[in-house]
Chain A
């Protein structure tokens, strides 16, 4: 089946450090790759996304890179702050194009 693998499952960094979360996908037809942030008890919120015709996208402290050849994409958070603590999910569009497959999530803890 079409899978999205996400690593690491937990990540602890000190405030001000950078955090990197990596995902790989198996469906070569995937063309849309969003990242969501979910705080405890809340709904997932989109933080950044990238399409297959772009290799990198940046929004302030957050960036996403995509390597289509290797079928992996990564989330980079610089100058982390305690409020960045949450679970982060990557996703990739599935072959039909209408839906997404999600990774299992990364629990990020930023300690002051």
Chain B
């Protein structure tokens, strides 16, 4: 069966520091991968998605970037964190069904606090 991992689970970082969040998926090949951010008490904001190695689509212009160095690995990065980057970061994976996204399965999330 498929499993999705995220780490770290929680992170407290000072403003201006770099960020690296990692997501890995097991048990499937060539998944679509997604990064979402959820501010406290708010909805899910799609940040990036990837349909293959090295292919990244950005949905929201910001100081974050994403990379997919391997088929089942997705990394979210920042060179300098802002206070507004605080939130719950969720990675998700899906397969395609007739050319469209199928069910998206979410990882356990990383809770980031920027101070």
* A interface residue numbers (CB < 8 A to B): 31-32, 34, 43-46, 49, 89, 93, 96-105
Contact = CB atoms under 8 A, between A and B. Distances in A.
A108 B42 CA distance: 14
A45 to B, nearest CB: 8
A98 B90 contact: no
B43 A89 contact: yes
A44 B105 CA distance: 8
Interface string B45-56: 010010100000
A97 B43 contact: no
A97 B107 contact: no
The majority secondary structure among interface residues of chain B is strand
A101 B46 contact: yes
Nearest to B44: A102
Contacts of B87: none
Interface in B71-115: 90, 96-97, 99-109
Interface residues of B, number: 24
Contact of A100 (B42, B90, B101, B108): B101
Interface of B: 32, 34, 42-44, 46, 49, 51, 57, 59, 90, 96-97, 99-109
A102 B42 CA distance: 11
A70 to B, nearest CB: 21
A43 to B, nearest CB: 4
Contacts of B46: 99-102
Given A43-B108, A99-B34, A93 B90 contact: no
B101 to A, nearest CB: 6
Residue among A99, A103, A105 with the most chain B CB within 10 A? A99
A51 to B, nearest CB: 8
Contacts of B42: 104-105
A108 to B, nearest CB: 14
Contacts of B57: 96, 98-99
B90 A44 contact: yes
A57 to B, nearest CB: 13
A96 B102 CA distance: 13
Contact of B101 (A43, A44, A99): A99
